[in-house]
Amino acid sequence: MQSFNKENFVAVSREEILAGSEKLSFDLYSINLEQGMLEPVVICRRGTSSHAVARAISGRLLDKLFVRKQALQDFYDHMEESLGALIDNPRLPTKKKSDILYHCASNVMQDVYNDPRSGENIERSREISNHIIRFSLNDPASIPTLLSLSSHNYYTFTHCVNVAVFGVGLWQFVGLGSPSELREFAQGAILHDVGKSKIADEILNKPGKLTDEEFEIIKTHPRNGYELMEGKVSDIALDIILHHHERYDGSGYPEKLGGSTISDNAKVAILADVYDALTTNRPYGDARDPFQAMLLMKEKMVGHFEQQKFISFIRFLSNTPTA
């Protein structure tokens, strides 16, 4: 029935489009299969006001809506503006909200890595981590659904989104502090590896074992990140950026903190970071399933984590099916 080239279009839902409170930043297409339409036609040009879009859509209840694939970036930029309304919309299923939020969060982190000094990008990282929290409070299925979207292939920016999602879930499970602390924690978690933006891709994505010199370069990223973000994010966020590679037994870096000198916020971020690294395909190793990752953390990484937090982590994981 559909003769048009599907490769060029992506179907979007009415609710997604109606969630937009700004002018349309892409052309919106429609097709009515019942009328035998063979090609999508433009029903709203970019720049159309949200009211006019709502009127146009309500007159075409049987139509399917599409966005051109080349315009997807514009679509997600548009959705980023409307995430609050989208998350609050009870008619949109969790999976749909998760898809859009995950995409938007990955886009934001890609932009942060490309330009970590941009105040606008740092502000977007704050807003997107607030949306993750909002979603997690609105919908108990949100965290597992967001985590299930991870491609299991490693990209620094999706890793950061995963650490923020898992970290927000674990932080709430452990019950660490006030809502404002959670917001600072989430921004720190999503920015935790921002210092890697200064490290060459050949080292970051090297297949095989790093040389000692290369590992020393990798180990500069917490401090690089701290220096990049100092004065731009809160102390709680900076603490996570600087200390997410510390270990409970003092064998971590960069400051070789240990025991209670590592904050509770950093301890949660450390667990989320290690867990995501183990469950994602890396240039030097295949992803483990959640159970294998947990076992490896328990048996081979003794001393890295505070026991109490590790127990909470296992409990959280068993309540949060993520595969």
What is the contact surface with Fe ion in residues (CB under 5 A)? Answer: 193, 273
Q: Is the peptide bond before 254 cis (omega within 30 degrees of 0)?
A: yes
Task: State which amino acid sits at residue 221.
Answer: H
- In angstroms, what is the minimal distance from the CB of 218 to Fe ion? 8
Closest residue by Cα to residue 276 from 154, 176, 181, 184: 154
Q: Least Å distance between CB 78 and Fe ion?
A: 30
Phi-psi region of 250 (alpha: psi -120 to 50; beta: other; left: phi over 0): left
Minimum distance, C-beta of residue 293 to Fe ion, in the bound complex (Å)? 14
Minimum CB distance to Fe ion, residue 318 (Å):
23
Instruction: Provide the sign of the torsion angle of the four alpha carbons 150, 236, 111, 78, taken in this order.
Output: positive
Choose between 184 and 193: whose C-beta lies nearer to Fe ion: 193
Q: How far apart are CA 166 and CA 174, in angstroms?
A: 12
Nearer to Fe ion among residue 9 and residue 313 (C-beta): 313
Taking the least distance from each CB to Fe ion, the nearer of 176 and 218 is: 218
What minimum distance in Å lies between the beta carbon of 225 and Fe ion? 8
Q: Which is nearer to Fe ion, 246 or 273 (CB)?
A: 273
| Contact between 82 and 100 (Cβ < 8 Å) | no
For Fe ion, the closer of residues 16 and 193 by Cβ is: 193
How many other β-carbons are positioned within 10 Å of the β-carbon of residue 103? Answer: 18
Q: What angle do CA 216, 254, 109 make, to 5 degrees?
A: 85
